[in-house]
Structure formats: C-alpha cells, structure tokens
C-alpha cells in the first residue's frame, strides 16, 4: 500500500469514529430533552373534575407533593444527562478535528501523485 492509500484508510476510519460519536451525541441530547419535557409536564396539573372544593384542594396538594419529589428526581437525572451530553459533545468535537486533519493530509498526499 502507498502512503496516500494508508492515509485515506485512516481518514475513512476517522470518519466512522466521527459518525459513531455524533450518534452518541444525538442520543444523549434526546435523553436530555426527554427529561426536560417530563419536568415541564409536571407543571401542567390536571383540573380535578366534579370534586368539592376541599377534596379538590387535597388532590392538588397531594399532586404538588408528588410533583415536587418527581421534579427533584428528574433534575438530578437531567444533571447527569447534561454531563453525559457535554462529554459526548467533546468526544464528537475531537473526532471531527481528527477527521478533518486526516482528510486534509490524505488530500495533500493524493494531490502529490
């Protein structure tokens, strides 16, 4: 094999790695967005139908207690997902730089021929 072919092969492998890293980034972003949507949905409490005012107040209070606990759990999950997303973003950024550098070198070697 020639140097140009070797570099083209490396550039191809780097592109595969970049595609994989971008896929991981998309998955992390989707998980993060799903948690954000769930947190937002907690604020949309359903109106109790046909309940006396006291019972409706109790239902609303119980829902708020449950929603506060769930919101706390989701916020902790969102924090972990944000860290995962940031790590995936950095890995994709590194893979992108590596791919661009190898493609540029492969292009220069191919142009010399």
For 60-98, the pLDDT digits (tens) are 899 999 999 999 999 999 999 999 999 999 999 999 999
Mean pLDDT of 25-31: 98
Calculate the average pLDDT of the chain: 91
Which structural domain range is residue 71 located in? 3-112
- CATH number, domain of 24, equals 1.10.287.1700
pLDDT at residue 6 above 90?
A: no
Q: Give Rg (Cα) of the chain.
A: 25
The model carries a pTM of: 0.81
Overall domain count for the chain: 1
Please list, residue by residue across 88-97, b when 16 or more beta carbons sit within 10 angstroms of its beta carbon and e when fewer do: bbebbeebbe
Convert 29-51 to b/e letters by CB count within 10 Å (16 or more is b).
Answer: eebbeebeeebeeeeeeeeeeee
């Amino acid at each position: 094999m020639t140097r140009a072919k070797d570099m083209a092969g490396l550039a191809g492998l780097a592109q595969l790695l970049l595609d994989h890293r971008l896929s991981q980034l998309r998955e992390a972003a989707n998980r993060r967005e799903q948690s954000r949507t769930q947190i937002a949905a907690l604020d949309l409490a359903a109106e109790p139908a046909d309940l006396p005012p006291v019972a409706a107040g109790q239902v609303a209070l119980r829902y708020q207690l449950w929603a506060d606990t769930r919101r706390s759990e989701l916020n902790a999950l969102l924090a972990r997902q944000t860290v995962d997303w940031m790590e995936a973003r950095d890995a994709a950024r590194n893979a992108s730089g590596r791919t661009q550098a190898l493609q540029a070198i492969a292009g220069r070697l191919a142009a010399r021929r």
